[in-house]
Amino acid sequence: MELQLDLNKRYSYADYLTWFDDKRRELIDGFIKMMTPAPSIKHQTLSFNLSRLFGNYLHKKKCKAFYAPSDVRFPNEENKYDDNRTFTVVQPDIYVVCDLSKLDDKGCNGAPDMIIEIVSPKNSKRDVKEKFELYEKYGVREYWIVNPNDENVTVFVLDENNKYKFVSMYAGDDKIPVNIFNGDLLIDLTEVFEE
């Protein structure tokens, strides 16, 4: 039996946890945003390459990297542990958490330190506009938007006013310094975009 959900209704994270089917969804302020059923092979390859590079660097360090599907909840501070009053949950392609107290069996409860989204033609507007604004609002310190077709990465970091500042667009054989690690980790794009 197919699950019937009203896309005009506002749902909580507690509701989201009851949806047992094969559809991928996110909640933005309680409203369902459908995700593509399965990313392309190129998308998967980029996600794997990035996850491997971050995973290798973070091995035996205090920060942890996770990849989709994994839930990141953005609760209001006063409702931090109330699933019935949490209305935003996303599944970024990759995220990094350094405050491990934000992790639980359900994923990440609060803003990760870094999020990477790999855009596809069907979700580019959401990643470039909606999620940009969402991640800025909740204080994700660093946000990367990876464009598989153009083989580039756009990097933003929060400034002292908690607004995203454009750092640079990287392409070709550039090496991207990861700002949350003060540039100690450099991501070589030739390794990211290799097939």
Span 167-185, pLDDT tens digits: 999 999 999 999 999 989 9
Q: What is the pLDDT of residues 60-102, one digit of tens each?
A: 999 999 999 999 999 987 777 889 999 999 999 999 999 999 9
Lay out the sheet containing 31-34: strands in order across.
31-34, 25-28, 89-90, 71-73, 107-109, 103-104
pLDDT at residue 154 above 60?
A: yes
Task: Give the residue ranges of DSSP H helices in the chain.
Answer: 13-16, 41-58, 124-125, 131-138, 189-192
Report, in this order, helix, strand and coil percent for the chain, each rounded to 5.
25, 30, 45
Question: Which of 120, 99, 118, 117 lies closest to 109, judged by CA?
Answer: 99
Domain boundaries 38-192, corresponding CATH code: 3.90.1570.10
**What pTM was estimated for this model as a whole?**
0.93
Decide if pLDDT at 37 tops 90. Answer: no
Domain spans of the chain? 38-192
